[in-house]
Structure formats: structure tokens, C-alpha cells
Amino acid sequence: MDAKAQKKIVQSHGHLVSHKPARHINTKGKISAEDSGPPSPSSGPLNNFGAVAPGIYRSSFPHADNMEHLRSLGLKSILTLVKTPHSEEFLGYVEENGIEHFRIIVPAHKNPSIIIPIDTLLETLKIILNRSNYPILIHCNKGKHRTGCMIACYRKLNGWTDAAIITEYRAFAGDKYRPLDEAFIASFNAEVAQQILDGVDIPYAPLHISSVQRKLGSPPPFPWSNHAGSFRIATEDSADSLPTPPPSEKSDKGYDDDAWPSPRGPSPEPW
Ligand SMILES: O=P(O)(O)O[C@H]1[C@@H](OP(=O)(O)O)[C@H](OP(=O)(O)O)[C@@H](OP(=O)(O)OP(=O)(O)O)[C@H](OP(=O)(O)O)[C@H]1OP(=O)(O)O
């Protein structure tokens, strides 16, 4: 879809997110050392790890000591949202296993002037929604803010309510949740995003929200969404009144296959 067509959609349906232009870096693959700082130490399993949906995982930054866990996922691709350099062990693993490594630098919502640019957002979503990339791991540094925001957009495209999305975001961000992230999540316009993505030439676009709702019917797509009425943008005062996530019923693979709407397209390869 060209810029003119995107502009037309925005004019008729509103902005994807309420924003003003922001500077961003958008790269793929290796980066120069001067762009980054050293990763923090970590050991054992990937920190802040979770299964988002069949074929989609999220975590904090994968360090050399996390390689065993990383290998066990049988990944086909990895999406890195930060400029932090990876270890030699990680780069070797990626190369040896023919893993597609995407890198899109997503700015952190540290103050109100920082906005994730629309093209950055769309590029990220295209990768996350493309089943030919599955199994995919999405990670940033801590797996809280950037990853949380991108997964939130994915959830919104799949018909989750803001309340359910914010509950999940906070489950990973803990007490480091950012009201600016939550404002971004609330302002993300899934309808506009869907229309723009429908015009983009990717193998498997997400389901239309209406078809997700048709498929899932009533009750709403996720049990936490019955907290929708009490949702508000987080403040320090509201942190104590959060809805509690339900106990998860996970399969051996770490998720419940039946709990998620399926993207279009053929099933990914066995993993
Ligand atoms: O305290 P602050 O608000 O200044 O934030 C610190 C740091 O907090 P800490 O020092 O208490 O650990 C954040 O870590 P947490 O809040 O996740 O624990 C970190 O977020 P992060 O992990 O990269 O976020 P994700 O990987 O999840 O997206 C953030 O990096 P930036 O978002 O890139 O700015 C840092 O900012 P700075 O020092 O300026 O680089």
C-alpha cells in the first residue's frame, strides 16, 4: 500500500495511534557496537518468558546463558526490538540454525514526546502476524515495555479488550509498568491498523476482528475482559486495584491451543 492510500484510510478512520512524528532507527541484522551498551547478565531460562499464542513467544533479552532454553523452542525466527548487541553464542545459534533474525528498534515510552512511529509499528506487526515466521520469539531488554506494547497491539488486532491487554502487560511489567505504555495501548486503533495491514503484501494477514468475534461468539474472547468496565489508564493510585489474571491452563507446549484465535493460512511447520 502506498503512502497516499494509507493517508486516505487515516483520513476516513482516524489515526492508528494518537501521535506526532518521532525520530526512529529501523534496522535489521547486526548493528555497530557504538549503538549499544552491554547486555546485563542472566542465567538459566529466558527471563520474563511467555507463550503468547501458538508459534509466538516473548521474553527478555536472550543471553549466552539462555541458549539451552532458546534452542529448545525450535525457533524459525527472532524479532529483536532493541539495539543491544547479542552474544557470540546467540549469533552462532542463529547462523547455524538458519534462523531469520529481524531487528526493529522500537523506542521506549520514557516521556510523552517519545512516540513509536507508525511505519515502525506496522513493520513490527507484519513480522509478528506472518505465520511463515513461526515459531517466533519477540524480545527487547527486559521483556516488559517494548515487547509488552507490541504484544498489546497483536492482542488488540485479535479482539482483546483494553482491560485484558493491560492485565497481561502488567503481568510482565510488574511494578515497572509505564502509564505511557498503557496510554499507547489504549490509543492504538486496531481497525485502522487492520485496514493498512490488509493492503500490505504479507502472506498471512490477521483475522478481521469481526470474524474473530464471530468465531468466538459470546462470551468475549478472553475471560479477563469482563473487567473492561473498570479499566482506566494506570496511575500510582490505581495499581492496587488491578484485575488478577486467571490461572492458566497450559498444554505441554506452554499454552492452551484452544484459547487463541487462529491466524489465516496453513499451519506452521511442526515445532
Ligand atoms: O528507570 P528508568 O525508567 O530510567 O528505566 C531504566 C531501567 O530501569 P532500572 O534502571 O530500574 O532497571 C528500565 O528497566 P525496567 O524498567 O524494564 O526494569 C529500562 O527499560 P528496559 O528494560 O530497556 O525496557 P524493555 O526492555 O522492557 O522495553 C530502561 O531502558 P529504556 O527503556 O531503554 O530507556 C532504563 O532506562 P535508561 O537507564 O535510561 O536506559
Mean pLDDT by 10 residues, the chain (271 residues): 58 54 35 43 81 97 96 97 97 97 97 91 95 97 98 96 97 97 94 84 43 36 26 30 38 42 39 32
pLDDT at 2: 60
The rounded Cα 83 to chain-centroid distance in angstroms is 17
The pLDDT assigned to 47 comes to 96
How many Å separate Cα 204 from the centre of its chain? 17
Query: What confidence score (pLDDT) does residue 22 get?
Result: 31
N-term to C-term CA, the chain:
33
For the CA of 140, the nearest atom of ligand 1 = 26
Handedness of CA 143, 146, 152, 153 (dihedral sign): negative
Catalytic status, residue 153: no
Model pLDDT, residue 226: 25
- The best mutation among 60, 63, 110, 149 to test binding of ligand 1, ranked by most ligand atoms within 8 Å of the C-beta, falls on 110
CB burial of residue 227 (10 Å; 0-12, 13-18, 19+):
middle
ipTM of this predicted complex? Answer: 0.91
**Residue type at position 34:** E
Q: Which residues line ligand 1 (CB under 6 A)?
A: 108, 110, 140-146, 176
Question: Cα dihedral sign for 17, 198, 222, 57?
Answer: negative
The minimum-distance atom of ligand 1 relative to the CA of 37 is: 40
Q: Which of 193, 190, 194, 166 minimizes the C-alpha distance to 180?
A: 166
Q: What angle do CA 248, 252, 255 make, to 5 degrees?
A: 40
pLDDT at 142: 98
- Residue 101's beta-bridge partner residues? 78
Q: Which of 108, 140, 157, 180 is catalytic?
A: 140
**Quick one: which H or E segment has residue 137?**
strand 136-139
Ligand 1, atom 23: closest residue by C-alpha: 141
136: three-class secondary structure by DSSP: strand
